[in-house]
Chain A
């Protein structure tokens, strides 16, 4: 049976660059999974994200979404309907001149009535707290507001697979928690997610973790297993959750601490 999302030995090399950006990545994803891709700066995460949604075409190997292949131009629009991407730099994705039109843009491509579009746009503006900025120009927003808008853009589309590249950067800690919750809710609605980052704490709820180093996948497994691999994590440039780091530095090696509450109970019953 064809899987929902398949990376088949995918490699990518930027034109004019000697090194490969992404090298021989294999992956299969079932609907409703949450996959985390971790890696240091320059390890190939964003390149992989662009390959997954068809914005870059693999120089070798294939990317398949519901059986459609990103290499075929005629199939791209079927892929775009199923996969949504939130870029690392939010302003790279803004196409319209006001916040509400920006959110509406993707929905408009689906040919709905103005009233239906309006309903979706209004709901997303409320969800992401952007209602007051309705007519603001996307490029005049503050960093965090831009991030929220870039998320709202994709939320409005409800793609089957959502790719988020460092979605929490530029957000304050409180907003970060709310967005993390929103991202987790996706799974209960049957959407799949691939989350690209270098901090393990953000993706402790992932079903599977994939670690990239210099364009290659060097490790796969459960997030909890990574907690016990401090040495390797350091070498791969992955940040462990602060509680885990603090526990190690205090010389507490077992049990392995995953979060603040566990650390509190280890330090003080």
Chain B
């Protein structure tokens, strides 16, 4: 499956304002199995782009094409509480699988699985999603897209409102479904640490323009220049500062594992020096 965008632009016209180009001639493609991060300052067009890819917002100009579609493209919106409508959490989560025409047993199993995966306490499963705390609502929203077992998952700022354990659970479940199935995902977020752990390709939007389409290692080298408001993932930033202080470290590891290797090597050397 491949989603291809060619010169996609979206123009918003708001009363009393000149038209605003939220997306300006965006071209790239996403293939099965890819895990992609979408970075950008506030108002740069990330949510708009995700809506276009999900087919919810027709682009003002340009084409978007999907080849060899073998499953639903599903989007988890930025403010999930705005979209809740079901009477209970369970029904809210079941809504997606029901749309896939699954049999009731399968639907129930998936609801069970998804709500367990996001670690929502069981006593909350039967209350209205509107009567939950912010973080609990986010968990419901995430469960409701995970339960659809999409082949193509779009997440708009999934970590907003999630506490540490919630974020950890999401990270685990995303990593797991990616190794188990040929899922691809595109995650827009202001939390580079979360993205670094889960993705291997970085798209950067600034003012509606695609400024970078690259790897984490490469992005680490150009981030400060392209978008100063976007910080590097903590580990990468740390390596940069260590290198600036004269430490012999690689500043462009492509994965967190590689970054950890650099740090523990440095640590070991320090310990050896200390002893010697």
Contact A267 B164 (CB under 8 A): no
Q: Which residues of B have CB within 8 Å of A8?
A: none
For residue B195, give the distance in angstroms from its CB to the closest CB of chain A. Answer: 12
Contact B163 A237 (CB under 8 A): yes
For residue A126, give the distance in angstroms from its CB to the closest CB of chain B. Answer: 17
Contact A260 B238 (CB under 8 A): yes
Q: Is B15 an interface residue (CB 8 A)?
A: yes
A1-58 contacts to B, CB under 8 A, are 14, 17, 19, 40-42, 45-47
For residue A96, give the distance in angstroms from its CB to the closest CB of chain B. Answer: 14
Known pairs A172-B230, A173-B190, A173-B231; A88 contacts B79 (CB<8 A): no
Tell me the bound Cα distance from A46 to B228 in angstroms: 32
Q: Is A91 an interface residue (CB 8 A)?
A: yes
Give the A-B contact count at a CB cut-off of 8 A: 142
Which of B14, B132, B228, B267 touches A135 (beta carbons < 8 Å)? B14
Tell me the bound Cα distance from A262 to B182 in angstroms: 42
Q: Is A263 an interface residue (CB 8 A)?
A: yes
Contact A250 B263 (CB under 8 A): yes
Per the CB 8 Å criterion, the residue count for chain A at the interface is 51
- Tell me the nearest residue of chain B to A90, going by C-beta: B79
Instruction: Give per-residue flags for B128-145: 1 if the beta carbon is below 8 A from chain A beta carbons, else 0.
Output: 000111111001000000
Q: Is B161 an interface residue (CB 8 A)?
A: yes
For residue B5, give the distance in angstroms from its CB to the closest CB of chain A. Answer: 20
Known pairs A41-B163, A89-B81; A251 contacts B267 (CB<8 A): yes
For residue B44, give the distance in angstroms from its CB to the closest CB of chain A. Answer: 8
For residue B167, give the distance in angstroms from its CB to the closest CB of chain A. Answer: 8
Which of B162, B238, B266 touches A41 (beta carbons < 8 Å)? B162
Contact B47 A142 (CB under 8 A): yes
Instruction: Give per-residue flags for B99-136: 1 if the beta carbon is below 8 A from chain A beta carbons, else 0.
Output: 00000000000000000000001011001000111111
Give me 24 A-to-B residue pairs in the complex whose CB atoms sit less than 8 angstroms apart, sorted by A's number: A14-B131, A40-B135, A42-B121, A42-B124, A42-B135, A47-B133, A135-B14, A140-B12, A140-B14, A142-B42, A143-B78, A143-B160, A166-B134, A172-B40, A173-B231, A174-B229, A243-B234, A246-B263, A250-B263, A250-B267, A252-B267, A267-B270, A268-B247, A268-B266
Given A169-B161, A174-B41, A198-B163, output 12 extra A-B contacts at Cβ < 8 Å: A41-B134, A41-B161, A42-B136, A135-B14, A140-B12, A143-B47, A172-B229, A198-B135, A246-B234, A260-B237, A264-B245, A267-B266
- Spell out A's residues near B (CB within 8 Å): 14, 17, 19, 40-42, 45-47, 88-89, 91, 135-137, 140-145, 147-148, 166, 169-176, 198-199, 234, 237-239, 242-243, 246, 249-252, 260, 263-264, 267-269
